Every structure is written in C-alpha cells, then in structure tokens.
Amino acid sequence: MNELKIINIDGVECYEKDGTAYLKLETVARGLGFTTVATSGNEVVRWNTVHKYLTDLGVATSCNGTNYREMCPEFIPENIFYRLAMKAKNEAAEKFQAKVADEIIPSIRRTGGYQVHTPQGKELLALAVLEAQRTIEAQAAEIDRMKPKEVFADAVSTSHTAILIGDLAKILKQNGIETGQKRLFAWLRENGFLIKRKGTDWNMPTQKSMEMGLFEVKESTVNNPDGSVRINRTTKVTGKGQVYFVNKFLEVMA
C-alpha cells in the first residue's frame, strides 16, 4: 500500500492514500458547523455529536480514549465527508445538500448521468471545503459578539422562570448530552451541587450552588387528611443555572 502523502487541491491541503483523498476530521467538523461556544468563549467541536455520526456511518472509532475526541479518527475519507455534509445544518452544507437533491439525483434519474461544466471530483471537494472555511470566517464576528448563553438557550437566557431538574435533563439532551433525570440528580450530588447526605435536605442545593445562583427552592403547603399541614420543598434550576449546566456539560463532552 502507498504511504499517506500530502497533496494540494486548489490551495487546500488534503491527504491521499491509494488514490483516496482524506481530510482532517477536526477541519471537517468545524467547516460543517459541528461546533459550539464554550464558557470560555472559544469555539469547540461537538465531538460527542461527531462520534455518534461516525458510528452511525460505520466508521471505526477507538474504545480506548478518555473522551469523544480521542475516540474519533484523525482523518476521514472523502466519501465520509460527503455523508457528514448531508447531516450538517450550516449554510455551506445545506447548499451542498440542495444541489444533490435538486440537481444531481434528478439528472441521474432522467439521463442516467450528471453532466456539468464546473469542477468535479477532488476539485469539487476542495471547493466544498473552501466554502465551509468561508462560512467559519463569516460567523467569526457573530461568535465574538455572542455570549455562551445566547448560543445554547435563547429562550432560557432572558427568562426568570426556574425549571425542574427533570426539565434541565431534557434541555441537555436537546444539546447532545445523553442523560436522564435520575442520572442528572446523581451527577449533581456527586459534583457538589446538591446535598447527597440522606435526610430532609437530600437533593436540596448546597450552599455553594445557591451562592452561584444556580438553584432556588420552592415551598408549597399540603393539607393532610388528618388536618395537619405538610411543607414540600422542590429544587428548581434558575435561568442562570440552566445556561451554566448546558455549557459545563458541553465543555466536558468536547
């Protein structure tokens, strides 16, 4: 087999082995918009999402890494790049998807082929990567302006409404973090955000998390059949807490 060698296609550095072009996965992930903004303000790749897509596509990943980034391969072949592009949501990827769906496939169905007078093959790949890179540059100014809370939870960031921890688990899942209510409660206890000592204060916010403004406690009264009154206390996540935990989990998964 031939050794992996550097090639240059219209100014884009790729790699070639046995006639197949390979692209650096991190460059692809950033170009296709599989990114988010961490609490630090830096744009980071959502490696958990990338890993899931690669697994779904049958791409071999490592089981030895300590995080999703280490589990993903460093390079992917161009056919996987195209398939990832079909899953992406940014402007460059959507133009590519539209071209395939609206022009290329209908032409093949009608004529048995697709004739173009524009660059094809590896040149088309290079143009797609260049377009993706231009999209990153166009978004850079907007990313600098945006705070993490604006990226992850527009509806939450300006809201003063606190939510249940089970609802926070749903928000985390929408952002690509696989968790549920029970696992989230356990994580919050183990990481010092909720009291883990069994008793009347179990699952109540710790002093630290209250001082950070992440939780609030709602009290309600319940009239018992015997005429006595019971006070229920419920831990709720503030708007600030919702943004904080989404950011924290995404940083951990990156």
Whether this model's pTM surpasses 0.85: no
pLDDT of the chain, 254 residues: tens digit per residue = 344 454 444 444 567 777 788 888 888 888 888 888 887 778 888 999 999 999 988 888 887 777 888 899 988 888 888 888 888 877 777 877 787 788 877 877 777 766 655 555 555 555 566 565 566 556 555 545 444 444 444 445 445 578 899 988 888 887 778 888 999 999 999 999 999 998 888 999 999 999 999 999 998 877 778 778 788 889 999 888 888 888 888 776 65
Per-residue confidence (pLDDT) for residue 252, from 0 to 100: 67
Per-residue confidence (pLDDT) for residue 134, from 0 to 100: 61
State how far the Cα of 35 lies from the Cα of 32, in Å rounded to an integer. Answer: 8
Question: Which residue, 9, 13, 32, is CA-closest to 122?
Answer: 9
